[in-house]
Amino acid sequence: MVMSPDLDRAVVLGDEEAARGHLARICFKTGPPALVGVELEWTVHDAADPARPVDRERLREALGRHSPVTLDPTSPADELRRGGAVTVEPGGQVEISATPRSSVAALILATEADVAELRARLDAAGLVLGRSGIDPWRLPRPVVETPRYQAMRCAFDRRGPAGRAMMYSTAGLQVCLDAGEPDHVAQRWAAAHAVGPPLLAAFATADRHAGRRTGWASARMATWLAVDPARTRPVWSPERADEDPVAAWTGYALAAPLLCVRGDGPDWTAPPGVTFADWLAGALPRPPTTDDLEYHLSTLFPPVRPRGYLELRYLDTQPGPEWTVPLAVLAALFADPATTRDALAAAGPVADRWRAAARCGLAERPLATAAAALFDLALTALPRLDLPVGIHDETQRAIRRHRAAAERGHR
């Protein structure tokens, strides 16, 4: 459970300049790219009847000592054997946040071991992990309730049903990359966004929800885009390509409405329409702190979110072990500045086509063309990842399959 802020230790933000300075210090930590991380999220289903609801108690028993405290306040919340942390989302989705590693191979091997451990626990309880980015069988329903989640639901309900679908039914794959050297941050920031639409299209898995076809290649991304544009739209766009990444993110964060305001009681509902900039200007009874600002950042969900590193949030959950393929593709595209530059150029013509990617996938010809070009770049750069021969060959074959699918879409 997220506790209310410790106002004795947090630093009060006196004005917007102080907030901007704090954001600049924490959101883009530069240096030679050294680590890569991944976060894997799945819906969870009854093995015999995937449409059957899975309740909180059944999940708690299955996860045991790995249960997060939001699910079981008495749990030790132990990491998995290879260091992955387990969390449970509001609809009962289970997530592994892998420990970042210095190589893609080490990350894959460690995370595969943690996934196997999680699957074994769930299997013993008659549960299985989902294989797509949105629940194909069940309507949205809450499983975990906290003051944060209740406040989120209240805020999202003002705009329509997309918020509940996002909270209770979606599952994503997040890849985490270092921001890079100071001279390369802007290029990596732009490329992380630009390759999003074609890779979203290429790896879309979320066309069915609640027992029916949705008409979207990625209904997961469709719900995210519809939740609240002030907190889910991309920060970077081709029209604002020259904007400094720190300035762009700072402006985005301060202009976003508060999703919740933490307190000692169960009601964290935020006043409608009050932004963090409004809070700095005196809109709430107490001034915000650095802790409040950092918590506010955790309520912003753009496709690329800077957290010191770059968190790429736009991919659907992949079936079974296929999560390693988009991880390797992105790691290869960002393996060196020249490849990243070429990826930005290849994806540039479709860099703003998020909705088309979610709706049409590779049926949108320009997206398919860009995806094929990115897969070619990834295949060329793949040896730079120094993968063991078996993993390298398997990954190479998988990328070629996806490249062939993009080529078919192109035609």
The whole-number average pLDDT for the span 115-140 is 98
Average pLDDT over the chain, rounded to an integer = 96
DSSP reduced 3-state for 298: coil
The whole-number average pLDDT for the span 106-122 is 98
For residues 36 and 100, give the distance between their C-alpha atoms in angstroms, rounded to a whole number.
5
pLDDT given for residue 409 in this prediction: 78
How confident is residue 7, by pLDDT bands cut at 50, 70 and 90? very low
Give the closest residue to 138 by CA, choosing from 114, 165, 157.
165
Give the closest residue to 274 by CA, choosing from 261, 291, 290.
261
pLDDT given for residue 4 in this prediction: 38
The whole-number average pLDDT for the span 300-322 is 98
pLDDT given for residue 10 in this prediction: 82
Residue 360's CB: how many other CB atoms inside 10 A?
20
Say yes or no to pLDDT of 6 above 90.
no
For the stretch 265-282, pLDDT in tens is 999 999 999 999 999 999
Q: Which residues pair with 175 in a beta bridge?
A: 38, 312
For residues 376 and 360, give the distance between their C-alpha atoms in angstroms, rounded to a whole number.
22
Q: Which two tokens stand for residue 76?
A: 């030790």
Say yes or no to pLDDT of 1 above 70.
no
How confident is residue 109, by pLDDT bands cut at 50, 70 and 90? very high
For residues 353 and 194, give the distance between their C-alpha atoms in angstroms, rounded to a whole number.
9
Q: For residues 100-133, b (16+ Cβ closer than 10 Å) or e, as one string?
A: bbeebbebbebbbebbebbeebbeebebbbbbbb
For the stretch 13-34, pLDDT in tens is 999 999 999 999 999 999 999 9
Say yes or no to pLDDT of 256 above 90.
yes
For the stretch 326-351, pLDDT in tens is 999 999 999 999 999 999 999 999 99
For the stretch 155-196, pLDDT in tens is 999 999 999 999 999 999 999 999 999 999 999 999 999 999
pLDDT given for residue 9 in this prediction: 58
Alpha helices in 32-103 (DSSP H): 56-63
How confident is residue 230, by pLDDT bands cut at 50, 70 and 90? very high
For the stretch 363-381, pLDDT in tens is 999 999 999 999 999 999 9
Percentage with pLDDT > 90 across the chain:
96
Say yes or no to pLDDT of 118 above 90.
yes
Burial of 249 (0-12, 13-18, 19+ CB in 10 A): buried
The whole-number average pLDDT for the span 76-101 is 98
